[in-house]
């Protein structure tokens, strides 16, 4: 997508702005990744990462950033035998994943509304 946009737009003073607007518009409809507990899903094809084309995938960042990352770190550590097993039922883990998904979607929605608001103000001023 980025290569196509780079080839489509010229080098005038507005080309970079047009690319940014279209990149933002194209990426919005993409499905957001969801947290889930593998123990509650029967279909292992749901574990794959579409864009990376890998059959099993987990994502996390530093565990100091988000609660979801803390859970993933703890579960991964326990599954590798580096720490004691997590004393949570899979349904409880899924409930936590659902809560993290809800908060992530609410945050994304607020971010989008904020972007729309500031874009509207920018257009009005210009």
- Give dist(CA 110, CA 123) in Å, integer: 20
Please count the structural domains in the chain.
2
Asked if 22 and 59 sit in the same domain, the reply is no
Domain identity same for 43 and 99: yes
Co-location of 24 and 43 in the same domain:
no
For residues 13 and 45, membership in a common domain is answered with no
DSSP assignment string, the chain: -HHHHHHHS-SSTTHHHHHHHHHHHHHTTSPPP----GGG---GGGGSBTTTTBSS------TTT-HHHHHHHHHHHHHTTSSPPP---HHHHHHHHHHHHHHHHHHHHHHHHHHHHHHHHHHHH-
pLDDT digits (tens, 9 = 90+) for 1-59: 667 766 777 677 777 787 777 777 776 656 677 888 888 888 888 788 777 778 888 87
Note the pTM of the prediction, 2 decimals. Answer: 0.66
The residue range of the domain holding 105 is: 35-125
Same domain? 57 vs 102: yes
The CA dihedral of 97, 98, 100, 102, to the nearest 10 degrees, is 170
Same-domain pairing of 59 and 82: yes
Give the pLDDT of residue 29.
Answer: 59
Q: Report the 10 Å Cβ neighbour count for 66.
A: 15
What pLDDT digit, counting tens, does each position of 55-96 carry? 888 877 776 778 888 888 888 899 999 999 889 999 999 999
Whether residue 78 sits in one domain with residue 52: yes
Mean pLDDT of 105-112: 91
Same-domain status, 69 and 23: no
Residues 55 and 117 in one domain: yes
Are 63 and 113 in the same domain? yes
89 with 103, same domain: the answer is yes
């Amino acid at each position: 997508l980025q290569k196509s946009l780079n080839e489509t737009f010229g080098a005038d003073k507005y080309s970079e702005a047009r690319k940014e607007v279209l990149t933002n518009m194209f990426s919005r409809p993409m499905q957001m990744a969801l947290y889930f507990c593998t123990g509650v899903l029967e279909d292992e094809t749901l574990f794959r990462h579409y864009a990376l084309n890998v059959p099993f995938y987990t994502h996390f960042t530093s565990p100091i950033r988000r609660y979801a990352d803390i859970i993933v770190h703890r579960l991964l550590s326990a599954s590798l035998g580096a720490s004691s097993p997590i004393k949570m039922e899979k349904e409880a883990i899924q409930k936590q994943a659902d809560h993290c998904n809800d908060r992530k979607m609410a945050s994304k929605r607020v971010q989008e509304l904020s972007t729309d608001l500031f874009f509207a103000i920018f257009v009005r001023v210009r």
